[in-house]
Structure 1
Amino acid sequence: MHQSFCLQFFYFVFVCPAFGQEWTGFRGDGSGTVTADLPTRWSPDEGIAWQADIPGYGQSSPVVWGDHVYVTSSEGPWQQDCQVHAFDLQSGTKLWTTHVEATTKVENYFRNSRAAPTCCVDESGVYSFFASGDVTAMTHQGDTRWSTPIIKTYGEVDNERGVASSLSQTETHLFVLVDHHGPSYLLSIDKHSGDVVWKADRGDRVPSWSSPVIAKIGKRNIVVTSSADTVDAYDAATGESLWQLDGLQGNHIPSASVDGSQIFVGSTTMYGGATDEDAVAGSNCCIALTEDDGKLGYRVRWGAERANSYYSTPLAFAGYVYYVNKVGVLYCVNQETGNQVFAKRIGNPCWASAVGVTKPDGEQLVYFVLKNGFTIVLRPGNEYDQVARNQLYDASAMMDAREAAEKQRNANTVPADQAKPKSGPEKVFAGMPESQLHQLFSYGDPMVYGVAVARNRLLIRTGQTLFCVGQNSKELAK
Structure 2
Amino acid sequence: MRARIVLIWILAAGCALGAETGEAWSGFRGTGDSLTGARDLPLIWSGSANIAWYADLPGYGQSSPVVWGGALFITSTGGKSKEEFIARRYRVSDGKLEWEKRFRSSRPQEAGERTSRAAPTPAVDAGAVYLLFDSGDLVALTHGGEELWRRDLNRDFGPIKNGHDFGSSLRQSAGALFVHISHLGPSVIAAVSKKDGHTLWRTDAPPEGGWQTPVLVSHGGKDLLLVAKEGGAAALDASTGRQLWQHALGKASQSRAIPSLTVAADRVIVPSMNRRETYLLSLGNPAEPLWQTQAATTQYSSPLIHRGRVYLVNAVGALFCVDFATGKDLWQIRLPGQAWASAIAAGDRIYFFTLRGATVVVDAASAEPKVLATNELPVGGKVYGAAAVNGSLFLREGTRLWRLANVEKSVVAPPADKAPAEDDLLSAVVPYQAPARREPPKAGDTWEHPLDGLTAVWIRAGSFAMGCSPNDTMCEDDERPARRVTLTKGFWMHRTEVTAGAFRKFFAALDRPMPAPPRMGPMELNPGWAREELPMLGVTWHEANAYCTWIGGRLPSEAEWEYAARAGTTEASHGPVPEVAWFADNTGREPLDSEDMIRNQRARYMEILAANGNRPQPVATKPANAFGLHDMLGNAAEWTADWHGSYEDAAVADPRGPAEGERKITRGGGWSIYASRARASSRGKSSLDSRTSFTGFRCVID
Contact 1:281 1:303 in 2 (8 A): no
Q: Aligned partners of 2:233, 2:382: CA distance in 1, in Å?
A: 29
Alignment partner of 1:388 is 2:373: yes
Contact 1:228 1:252 in 2 (8 A): no
In structure 2, the residue matched to 1:141 is 144
State the secondary structure of the residue aligned to 2:289. Answer: strand
Q: Aligned partners of 1:260, 1:70: CA distance in 2, in Å?
A: 31
Question: What is the aligned counterpart of 2:392 among 431, 437, 457?
Answer: 457
- Cα 1:219–1:22 change in 2 (3 A) is farther
Contact 1:51 1:467 in 2 (8 A): yes
State the secondary structure of the residue aligned to 1:281. Answer: coil
In structure 2, the residue matched to 1:282 is 276
In structure 1, the residue matched to 2:222 is 220
In structure 2, what residue type is equivalent to 1:91? Answer: D
In structure 2, the residue matched to 1:428 is none
* Runs of at least 5 residues in structure 2 that lack an aligned partner in the other structure: 1-19, 411-702
Q: CA deviation at 1:74?
A: 0.3
Alignment partner of 1:95 is 2:98: yes
Within-5 A mapping of 1:195-344: 195-205=198-208, 207-248=209-250, 249=252, 250-268=255-273, 280-290=274-284, 300-344=289-333
In structure 2, the residue matched to 1:435 is none
Within-5 A mapping of 1:409-420: none
In structure 2, what residue type is equivalent to 1:388? Answer: A
State the secondary structure of the residue aligned to 1:326. Answer: coil
In structure 2, the residue matched to 1:161 is 164
* Runs of at least 5 residues in structure 1 that lack an aligned partner in the other structure: 1-17, 269-279, 292-296, 359-363, 402-445
Identity %: 34
Within-5 A mapping of 1:46-195: 46-195=49-198
State the secondary structure of the residue aligned to 1:290. Answer: coil
CA deviation string 1:311-358 (max 9, x = no partner): 000100121111111111111101111100011111211100011111
Q: CA deviation at 1:186?
A: 0.3
CA deviation string 1:196-224 (max 9, x = no partner): 1111010223x111111111115422111
In structure 2, the residue matched to 1:33 is 35
Q: Aligned partners of 1:25, 1:305: CA distance in 2, in Å?
A: 31
Q: Aligned partners of 2:170, 2:288: CA distance in 1, in Å?
A: 26
Q: Aligned partners of 1:156, 1:473: CA distance in 2, in Å?
A: 52
In structure 1, the residue matched to 2:352 is 368
Contact 1:285 1:300 in 2 (8 A): yes
Q: CA deviation at 1:20?
A: 3.4
In structure 2, what residue type is equivalent to 1:244? Answer: Q
Q: Aligned partners of 1:171, 1:300: CA distance in 2, in Å?
A: 32
Q: CA deviation at 1:153?
A: 1.8
State the secondary structure of the residue aligned to 1:152. Answer: helix
Q: CA deviation at 1:228?
A: 4.2
In structure 2, the residue matched to 1:8 is none
In structure 1, what residue type is equivalent to 2:398? Answer: G
Question: What is the aligned counterpart of 1:22 among 5, 24, 27?
Answer: 24
Alignment partner of 1:348 is 2:323: no
Q: Aligned partners of 1:57, 1:176: CA distance in 2, in Å?
A: 22
Contact 2:50 2:409 in 1 (8 A): no
State the secondary structure of the residue aligned to 1:123. Answer: coil
Q: Aligned partners of 2:262, 2:232: CA distance in 1, in Å?
A: 15
In structure 2, what residue type is equivalent to 1:141? Answer: G
Question: What is the aligned counterpart of 1:44 among 28, 32, 47?
Answer: 47
State the secondary structure of the residue aligned to 1:282. Answer: coil
Contact 1:289 1:299 in 2 (8 A): no
The count of corresponding residues between Structure 1 and Structure 2 is: 386
Q: CA deviation at 1:283?
A: 2.4
Within-5 A mapping of 1:418-437: none
Within-5 A mapping of 1:395-406: 398=379, 401=380
Moved more, 247-256 or 109-118: 247-256
State the secondary structure of the residue aligned to 1:104. Answer: coil
In structure 1, the residue matched to 2:486 is none
- Cα 1:29–1:160 change in 2 (3 A) is same
Q: CA deviation at 1:247?
A: 2.5
Higher strand share: 1
In structure 2, what residue type is equivalent to 1:327? Answer: V
Contact 2:175 2:195 in 1 (8 A): yes
In structure 1, the residue matched to 2:402 is 467
Q: Aligned partners of 1:105, 1:347: CA distance in 2, in Å?
A: 36
State the secondary structure of the residue aligned to 1:153. Answer: helix
Contact 2:206 2:230 in 1 (8 A): no
State the secondary structure of the residue aligned to 2:115. Answer: coil
State the secondary structure of the residue aligned to 2:108. Answer: coil
- Cα 1:114–1:473 change in 2 (3 A) is farther
Contact 2:393 2:405 in 1 (8 A): yes
State the secondary structure of the residue aligned to 2:276. Answer: helix
Q: CA deviation at 1:96?
A: 0.9
Q: CA deviation at 1:472?
A: 4.2
Q: Aligned partners of 1:34, 1:132: CA distance in 2, in Å?
A: 31
Contact 1:251 1:283 in 2 (8 A): no
Q: Aligned partners of 2:111, 2:276: CA distance in 1, in Å?
A: 35
Contact 1:184 1:201 in 2 (8 A): yes
Contact 2:235 2:244 in 1 (8 A): yes
Contact 2:41 2:406 in 1 (8 A): no
CA deviation string 1:206-259 (max 9, x = no partner): x11111111111542211111341211111110010100113341111001122
CA deviation string 1:380-432 (max 9, x = no partner): 23321011001122xxxx4xx3xxxxxxxxxxxxxxxxxxxxxxxxxxxxxxx
Q: CA deviation at 1:57?
A: 0.4
Q: CA deviation at 1:298?
A: 6.0
When Rg is computed on C-alpha atoms for both structures, the one with the higher figure is: 2
TM-score by length of 1: 0.78
State the secondary structure of the residue aligned to 1:96. Answer: strand
TM-score by length of 2: 0.53
Greater relative contact order (Cα 8 A, min sep 6): structure 1 or 2?
1
Q: Aligned partners of 2:215, 2:236: CA distance in 1, in Å?
A: 11
In structure 1, what residue type is equivalent to 2:370? Answer: D
Q: Aligned partners of 1:140, 1:193: CA distance in 2, in Å?
A: 16
In structure 2, the residue matched to 1:441 is none
